[in-house]
C-alpha cells in the first residue's frame, strides 16, 4: 500500500472487516467461524476430541453480530489487497500500544483455510515485525508442507492436539493441547487460575515454550 493509498482504520475495516478484542487476550485477535474449520468442523462431531467441546461454537461466538463479522472476514480473504490492508490495519491498531500489549492472535475462532491463506498470513507477519503473533492450528496437512525456517520469526505457529489428554503431535516444533484428567504436558496455561485471562503470561507467543497445555473449559 503506497503512501497515497493509505486509508484510515475504519476505511480498511469496511473492506476486510474488523479485528476482535477477546477479553482474555492482551490485545487484538482475528478469527472466522469455527464452523468453517476444514478439519475442526469434522472433529467437532467426534466425542472425545477437543473440537467436540469447542468454546468458539457457543457463548458470545453464537451472537449474530459476531457471526456476521466472521462471514465478512472469511469473504475478505479473497480480496487481492488483503495482505496490505491487514498489515496497515494492524499497524494502526497497535501503533500506540505498550510493547507488552503488542501480542496478536490469529484465530481466536476458526482455522487456516488453505496453504495460500497461510502464506498471506506469513506476509502480514513479515510486514509488521513490531508485533508478536501466535497461531494455533489443526490443519496438519498444510503445516507438514512447511519447514520451521519458513515461519516468520515474530510468529509462534503451534500445531494442536486433536484429543483431550493426548500427547502433542511430534512432527512440529511448537505444539499445544488440552488436559482434563491427566497432568498438563509442557507449560500449563494459567488462565483458569486468573479469571480466564492471560494477565502477564505470554507463553503461547513464545518460541522458547515448546508445548502449552490448556485445562479443559
pLDDT value of residue 5: 67
What pLDDT, in 10s, does the model give residues 117-176? 999 999 999 999 999 999 999 999 999 999 999 999 999 999 999 999 999 899 999 999
Task: Determine, yes or no, domain membership for 210.
Answer: no
- Within a domain: 196: no
In a domain, 56, yes or no: yes
The reply to whether 27 falls in a domain is yes
Of 153, 23, 25, 30, nearest to 89 by C-alpha is 30
The reported pLDDT for the residue numbered 16 is: 98
Torsion of CA 89, 93, 95, 99, to 10 degrees: -120
Instruction: Give yes or no for residue 4 having a pLDDT over 80.
Output: no
Mean pLDDT of the chain: 95
pLDDT in tens, 175-216: 999 999 999 999 999 999 999 999 999 999 999 999 999 999
Q: How far apart are the first and last CA of the chain?
A: 41
Q: Cβ(12)–Cβ(88) under 8 Å?
A: yes
Residue 192 covered by a domain: no
pTM to 2 decimal places: 0.94
Identify the band that residue 6 occupies on the pLDDT scale cut at 50, 70 and 90.
Answer: confident
Helices (H), the chain: 9-16, 40-43, 64-76, 82-94, 115-127, 140-143
Q: What is the pLDDT of residues 70-124, one digit of tens each?
A: 999 999 999 999 999 999 999 999 999 999 999 999 999 999 999 999 999 999 9
The 10 Å Cβ neighbour count of residue 150 is 11
Residue 181 lies in a domain: no
Are the beta carbons of 17 and 73 closer than 8 angstroms? yes
Give the Cβ contact number of residue 21 at 10 Å: 11
Cell of 110: 476458526
How many domains are there within the chain?
1
Domain that holds residue 71: 3-160
Residue 182: what pLDDT? Answer: 96
Distances (CA, A) of 89 to 35, 123, 149, 214: 25, 14, 26, 30
* Residue 103 grid coordinates: 501480542
* 28 belongs to a structural domain: yes
| DSSP structural state of residue 204 | G
Find out whether 70 and 107 touch, Cβ atoms under 8 Å: no
Helix, strand or coil for residue 158?
strand
Amino acid at each position: 500500500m503506497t503512501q497515497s493509498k493509505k486509508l484510515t482504520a475504519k476505511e480498511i475495516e469496511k473492506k476486510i472487516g474488523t479485528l476482535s478484542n477477546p477479553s482474555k487476550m492482551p490485545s487484538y485477535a482475528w478469527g472466522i467461524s469455527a464452523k468453517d474449520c476444514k478439519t475442526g468442523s469434522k472433529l467437532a462431531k467426534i466425542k472425545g476430541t477437543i473440537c467436540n467441546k469447542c468454546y468458539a461454537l457457543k457463548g458470545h461466538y453464537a451472537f449474530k453480530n459476531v457471526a456476521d463479522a466472521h462471514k465478512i472476514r472469511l469473504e475478505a480473504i479473497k480480496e487481492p489487497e488483503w495482505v496490505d490492508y491487514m498489515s496497515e490495519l494492524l499497524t494502526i491498531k497497535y501503533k500506540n500500544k505498550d510493547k507488552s500489549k503488542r501480542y496478536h492472535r490469529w484465530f481466536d475462532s476458526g482455522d487456516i483455510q488453505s496453504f495460500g491463506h497461510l502464506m498471506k498470513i506469513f506476509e502480514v507477519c513479515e510486514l509488521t515485525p513490531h508485533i508478536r503473533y501466535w497461531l494455533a492450528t489443526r490443519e496438519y496437512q498444510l503445516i507438514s508442507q512447511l519447514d520451521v525456517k519458513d515461519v516468520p520469526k515474530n510468529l509462534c505457529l503451534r500445531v494442536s492436539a486433536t484429543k483431550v489428554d493426548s500427547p502433542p503431535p511430534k512432527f512440529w516444533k511448537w505444539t499445544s493441547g488440552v488436559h482434563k484428567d491427566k497432568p498438563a504436558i509442557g507449560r500449563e496455561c494459567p488462565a483458569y487460575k486468573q479469571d480466564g485471562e492471560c494477565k502477564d503470561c505470554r507463553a503461547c507467543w513464545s518460541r522458547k515454550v515448546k508445548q502449552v497445555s490448556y485445562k479443559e473449559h
